[in-house]
Amino acid sequence: MMLIILGETPGTKSTGCTAKEKSMNHPAANPKSKSNSSSKGTAVITGASRGIGAVYADRLAKRGYDLILVARIEARLKALSARLRSETGRSVTALSADLNSKADLAKVETALRDDQTITLLVNNAGIAVAQLLDADVEKMDATIALNTTALTRLTYAAAPRFVARGAGTIINIASVVGISPETLNGVYGGTKAFVIALCHSLQHELADKGIRVQAVLPGATTTDLWEIAGLPSQNLPASIVMSPEDVVDAALVVSTRAN
Ligand code: NAP
């Protein structure tokens, strides 16, 4: 079981840790069911309809963020939005978008540029394919587009406004295969290596401007990603698999430490 977190509040030390070490006993693991605090601004979370993104939505709403949730399947987004609104009292907007469609991606970029309440971006939407040479090259192309191009465009939409305000947080979900590409499809690993490099560079450029940049590198996590990739997570050794709750709770300990 492995989770690496790179980049955090300016002035603090980067860290690598297991999910369990970081998430045990932290308030994120036992959030209040109803938040009555004032808003910390709006968090945009891509790929929020299930898996790791849906846990980010739950945890951030319970920490006082209003939310804009992005994914393709509107019904799932609306169901999650309704639950979180009722449990937390926060404002939660479902923004249905296929981030591999230029028009839909532009809708999310516009929201990030124009909505002054947005203070946090979680670039989480991503897909994987288990096979390498046997995989359809169109699927590889879609993987590169979603995992790197969409993430880059959304970062470029958010960052200038965060810089102008002197505050903001960008969390990009990478993967441990970004540093060990031989363990899965190398195209997927390559997209995650791109995310890690981008985060290092952004952190370098933006740290003294009050912007936090975090790369989260989960190991194998029990979500639908594996089934969709053609390798159900039940087939993986239990000892290397962690829950999406462990991933998010550990990462949030670091990225919202001062909030
Ligand atoms: P997941 O359960 O399959 O969730 C993926 C999310 O992305 C869903 O909400 C999906 O919603 C959305 N999505 C997929 N294609 C999209 C598109 N074209 N446009 C907009 N949204 C799209 O997978 P997950 O495991 O939570 O993955 C989240 C992130 O963690 C990914 O970046 C993944 O690479 C990374 N990660 C996962 C693992 C793991 O073992 N699970 C390990 C390391 C890193 P819709 O289908 O409704 O669009």
Q: What is the pLDDT of residues 184-203, one digit of tens each?
A: 999 999 999 999 999 999 99
Report pLDDT digits (tens) over 112-131.
Answer: 999 999 999 999 999 999 88
Buried (b) or exposed (e) across 226-252, using 16+ Cβ within 10 A?
A: beebebebeeeeeeeebbbbbbbbbbb
How close is the Cα of 123 to the center of ligand 1, in Å? 10
Give the pLDDT confidence score for residue 233 in this predicted structure.
82
- Residue positions annotated with a catalytic role: 188
Residue 6: pLDDT band with limits 50, 70, 90: confident
Q: What is the gyration radius of the CA atoms in the chain, in angstroms? A: 17
Residue 257: pLDDT band with limits 50, 70, 90: low
How close is the Cα of 226 to the center of ligand 1, in Å? 10
Give the pLDDT confidence score for residue 256 in this predicted structure.
58
Nearest atom of ligand 1 to the alpha carbon of 188: 34
Is it the case that residue 211 has pLDDT exceeding 50?
A: yes
Report pLDDT digits (tens) over 147-161.
Answer: 999 999 999 999 999
Ligand 1 pocket residue status of 120, Cβ below 6 Å: no
Give the pLDDT confidence score for residue 38 in this predicted structure.
77
Ligand 1 pocket residue status of 53, Cβ below 6 Å: yes
Please provide the average confidence, as pLDDT, over all residues in the chain: 88
Report pLDDT digits (tens) over 214-247.
Answer: 999 999 999 999 999 988 888 889 999 999 999 9
Report pLDDT digits (tens) over 28-49.
Answer: 333 444 444 678 999 999 999 9
For the chain, which domains are there?
A: 3-255 (3.40.50.720)
On whether the CB atoms of residues 216 and 16 are closer than 8 A, the answer is no
Is it the case that residue 27 has pLDDT exceeding 60?
A: no
